[in-house]
Amino acid sequence: MADARAFPGFASWRTAACEPLTGDASARKYFRLRTASQSAILMDASQVPDSVAPFIRIAKHLRKIGFSAPDILARETESGLLLIEDFGDDTFARRLENLAQAEPLFTLATDVLIALHRHPQAVPETLRDYHPEKMLEDIELFVQWRTPQVTALEKEDFRAAWRAVLPLAQQVPASLLLRDYHVANLMLLPGRAGLRQAGLLDFQDAYRGPVTYDLISLLEDARREVPEALQRKLFARYLAAFPDLDREKFERSAAILAAQRHTRVLGIFERLARQEGKLDYRRLHSPRVERLLRQALHHPALSEVKDWMDRHAITD
């Protein structure tokens, strides 16, 4: 990485200490810059520079409509570098080490989604749609990495099964879909009031899409167990906030998108293991995601997808 402090926009940080932060499964890297009086987070997206402009756009939009997204302090867009507001280290995930905090934290996260999905200006103008063909494209890597042994005809059967069901996931209202909405990307900001206590991160892949997606991303977390009783309680809390929703269509959409998301995640974890030697995601989390996928596949709408998975990938 080129030293961001050499760029003109970062001039006031030239003497700052630079501390690497724990990364995630993405190509982005993060560093904390610290001076005697202030700190900020350097996001190095030089490997994925196209993600910088969407991050800036969605962050600005979220702040405009009343949510806590980091302020952009400096940018070097062509180099894929951003200096953003430091929300600290108090992620919801870290707080969940104290199990007593699980319900209030997940409730706050659910209430943020409720407020976002109620907001009449939640979706920025001209934001791309998360349409069924894009959903299918995102799970193609499952076939590539998890079931490379299948024939070309069997790959077409995979696509046909998903094409038959993914449009049904769209039969719920659409809103701003943050796409990686889970406790590792939520920061607790106790100095702020109400829903603004939840700091939002990692939304550069946002779309306009079904409201069920982010709720499932939160409640069926790929990296940690969420008690089933708490899942049911928060699912009901969301539904109670929107009494006009068609419950049957909502539950069907949630099951389909749970299956789609878990299929995508299993493909990602397999690619990380095989291509990049990052084995921990597969070792620690794939068994959980497989269980969640099997659970989702029991919805009647997913019978053809379940049949394909049973024959080629995952069995009960």
Per residue in 194-246, pLDDT (tens digit) is 999 999 999 999 999 999 999 999 999 999 999 999 999 999 999 999 999 99
Measure CA 274 to chain center. Answer: 22
- Give the pLDDT band of residue 15 (cuts 50, 70, 90): confident
| Arithmetic mean of pLDDT, 110-115 | 98
pLDDT at 170 over 70: yes
Q: Does residue 154 carry a pLDDT above 70?
A: yes
| Rounded Cα distance, 192 and 48, in Å | 32
Average pLDDT over residues 82-95: 93
Whether residue 1 is predicted with pLDDT greater than 50 in this model: the reply is: no
Are the beta carbons of 33 and 40 closer than 8 angstroms? yes
pLDDT interval class at 165 (50, 70, 90) = very high
pLDDT score, position 14: 79
- CA-to-CA dists, residue 97 to 70, 105, 183, angstroms: 24, 12, 12
pTM: 0.93
Of how many residues is the chain composed? Answer: 316
Share of the chain above pLDDT 90, in %: 82
Binned at pLDDT 50, 70 and 90, residue 6 comes out as low
What's the chain's average pLDDT? 93
pLDDT of residue 158: 98
Q: pLDDT at position 167, please?
A: 98
As a whole number, mean pLDDT of residues 149-167 equals: 97
Average pLDDT over residues 153-166: 98
What is the predicted pLDDT for the residue at 4?
58
Q: Which has more confidence, 76 or 121? A: 121
Report all structural domains of the chain as residue ranges with CATH numbers, in order of start.
Answer: 4-85 (3.30.200.20), 92-312 (3.90.1200.10)
Report d(CA 46, CA 1) in Å as an integer: 8
- Mean pLDDT across 297-315: 94
- Other CB atoms closer than 10 Å to residue 199's CB: what's the count? 21
The pLDDT of residue 7 is 63
Query: What is the H or E stretch that residue 34 is in?
Result: strand 29-34
